[in-house]
A and B are shown apart, each in its own frame.
Chain A
Amino acid sequence: MTTVADMIRDIFREGSILPVDIATLSDSADLYTAGLTSHATVNLMLSLEEKFDVEFPDRLLRRRTFESIDAIKAAVGELLDQKAAA
């Protein structure tokens, strides 16, 4: 079964979001240390919104939301839960 983390990793791979291969990083690794720029963060967000059919509210549009795969997973999870409850 593909997990949310796998789907997030697919986005990194397909969108060349990072200068390094995402497979070399753990879910808790700091993505900014790995070269994530604020410009790339926007592309990442757009791809996440497209892939999971969610919309990031302004409250989540901050640096820390995207600092690791774990953090992104938590944010996407929260948005998917909200969607399911709506």
Chain B
Amino acid sequence: MSDLLQRARRVGAEVAARHASAVDADARFPRESFAALKAEKLLGVMVPAEFGGAGASIPEILSLCHALGQHCASTAMIYAMHQIQVACIVRHGQQSPWHRQLLQRLAGEQLLLASATSEAGVGGDVRSSVCAVEVEGQRLKVSKNATVISYGADADGILVTARRTPDSPASDQVIVAVLKGDYRLEQTSSWDTLGMRGTCSNGYWLHAAGDVAQILPLPYADISAQTMLPTSHLTWSSLWLGIATDAVARARTFVRAEARKKPGSTPPGALRLAESMNLLQHMKSNVVAAARQYEAALGSAERLTALSFAVAMNNLKIGTSQMAVQVVNHALLICGISGYRNDSEFSVGRHLRDAHSAALMVSNDRILANTANLLLVLKDDPGLFP
């Protein structure tokens, strides 16, 4: 096991797990988990070694999300969203002196980055913006009515999407990295939700000012296709798999305890447990195959912006988001009332509530509609192995 994974498992088991119920009940930021993740220097792990980071690979990052997801889904989701932002800077910021310095700070100070892509007026269509970057000389200004900025109040910086100029069409977007001190947040909505309560995904009016150098050089369309979309679907899927894995672990303990009470007879839940393992294996295979596909395409803008790649990453998200709920539901049926209780060691209520966010976090219907459109021109791949 890698040293990084060992550290993440320790944070998960010793810190995140202990506070997960309180984080969920109070819908509060998992501050203990993030203090521990910072102390273990796990926030800046993806930053390349030349900037002071650990240069962690995508599979390593996914393993960390998966490990955290087994203990506190909110912690894991915040960790995943942060890594998605870091990935954008690592992949697309190295040519820019401002972003190179940010990379050093991400590793050195273990800064936490949030994301403001969703916006009032465009629904969940993150490939359109209403707000625009206004430039005067070397200074920029942007104000965004962001419907959801997870952990906005606890972040050290935010990656904001906006139209390139006030004259640009909605789809011609850039990403601006703004750091604490560059922006002011006016809260417009609170986050009292079914699950993922610790992500504290309030709505805000974000008012930011900064230097034009803070704009990532590549258009957002490319950053989205090459990095943000694949890393989102990969990291999210990994932590959803983590949620499902822990629910199955609880169900397995339940079935074993039953089996021990009546040796010689297979408990009724055993069959459904076998079924859950089958689904879990599907989920895992999906994540691993998609991660390999991403790694193989890394470094090639051509392969990363191919429509077939987008479809594969969309399918990963659709599949794992649905299966996570199915698996947790199986675990609930296996554990019965013990799983339904909030005060039992077999409780999977929080797992189920957290897992239900998966289909909404970029609506599956929206993603399917996008895939449906691409399939009008995409050709069938008759091969088994790529």
Q: Which residue of B lies closest to A59 (CB)?
A: B306
The interface on chain A, measured as residues whose beta carbon lies within 8 A of the other chain's beta carbons, has a size of 22
The residues in A between 27 and 68 inclusive whose CB is less than 8 angstroms from any CB of B are 32-39, 42, 45-46, 49, 55-58, 61-64
Contact check, A62 vs B221: say whether CB atoms are below 8 A apart.
no
Ranked nearest first, the 8 interchain pairs of A and B with the lowest CB-CB distance are A35-B169, A61-B307, A63-B305, A37-B171, A62-B305, A45-B377, A62-B306, A42-B373
Contact check, A19 vs B169: say whether CB atoms are below 8 A apart.
yes
Contact check, B172 vs A32: say whether CB atoms are below 8 A apart.
yes
| Chain A binding surface, main DSSP class | loop
Contact check, A32 vs B302: say whether CB atoms are below 8 A apart.
no
Q: Which residue of A lies closest to B372 (CB)?
A: A42
- Asked if B190 is at the interface of the complex by the 8 Å CB criterion, the answer is no
- Asked if B168 is at the interface of the complex by the 8 Å CB criterion, the answer is yes
Q: How far is the CB of B169 from chain A (nearest CB, A)?
A: 3
Q: How far is the CB of B242 from chain A (nearest CB, A)?
A: 31
Interface CB pairs A-B, < 8 A, 23: A19-B169, A32-B172, A33-B164, A33-B172, A34-B169, A34-B172, A35-B170, A37-B127, A37-B171, A38-B370, A38-B374, A42-B374, A42-B376, A42-B377, A45-B377, A49-B377, A57-B379, A58-B306, A58-B378, A61-B307, A61-B378, A62-B302, A64-B301
Per-residue A-contact encoding for B204-228, CB less than 8 Å = 1, 0 else: 0000000000000001011001000
Q: Which residue of A lies closest to B308 (CB)?
A: A58
Chain B residues closer than 8 Å to A33, beta-carbon distance: 164, 168, 172, 219
Spell out B's residues near A (CB within 8 Å).
Answer: 127, 164, 168-172, 219, 221-222, 225, 301-302, 305-308, 370, 373-374, 376-379, 381
Q: How far is the CB of A22 from chain B (nearest CB, A)?
A: 14
Contact check, A32 vs B171: say whether CB atoms are below 8 A apart.
yes
Contact check, A38 vs B127: say whether CB atoms are below 8 A apart.
yes
| Chain B binding surface, main DSSP class | loop
Contact check, B307 vs A62: say whether CB atoms are below 8 A apart.
yes
Contact check, B377 vs A56: say whether CB atoms are below 8 A apart.
yes
Contact check, A63 vs B221: say whether CB atoms are below 8 A apart.
yes
Q: Which residue of A lies closest to B301 (CB)?
A: A64
Chain B residues closer than 8 Å to A45, beta-carbon distance: 377
Q: Which residue of A lies closest to B171 (CB)?
A: A37
Q: How far is the CB of A72 from chain B (nearest CB, A)?
A: 14
Chain A residues closer than 8 Å to B222, beta-carbon distance: 63
Chain A residues closer than 8 Å to B305, beta-carbon distance: 62-64
The distance in angstroms between the C-alpha atoms of A55 and B378, with both chains bound, is: 10
The distance in angstroms between the C-alpha atoms of A63 and B310, with both chains bound, is: 11
Q: Which residue of A lies closest to B224 (CB)?
A: A38
Per-residue B-contact encoding for A9-34, CB less than 8 Å = 1, 0 else: 00000000001100000000000111
Contact check, A32 vs B219: say whether CB atoms are below 8 A apart.
yes
The distance in angstroms between the C-alpha atoms of A62 and B302, with both chains bound, is: 7
Chain A residues closer than 8 Å to B370, beta-carbon distance: 38-39
A61-B308, A64-B302 known; 11 other A-B pairs, CB under 8 Å?
A: A20-B169, A32-B219, A33-B172, A34-B169, A37-B171, A38-B127, A42-B374, A58-B307, A61-B377, A62-B305, A63-B225
Chain B residues closer than 8 Å to A63, beta-carbon distance: 221-222, 225, 305
Q: How far is the CB of B362 from chain A (nearest CB, A)?
A: 15
Q: How far is the CB of A76 from chain B (nearest CB, A)?
A: 14
The distance in angstroms between the C-alpha atoms of A55 and B219, with both chains bound, is: 28
Q: How far is the CB of B307 from chain A (nearest CB, A)?
A: 4
Q: Which residue of A lies closest to B380 (CB)?
A: A58
Chain B residues closer than 8 Å to A36, beta-carbon distance: 171
The distance in angstroms between the C-alpha atoms of A55 and B377, with both chains bound, is: 9
Chain A residues closer than 8 Å to B374, beta-carbon distance: 38, 42
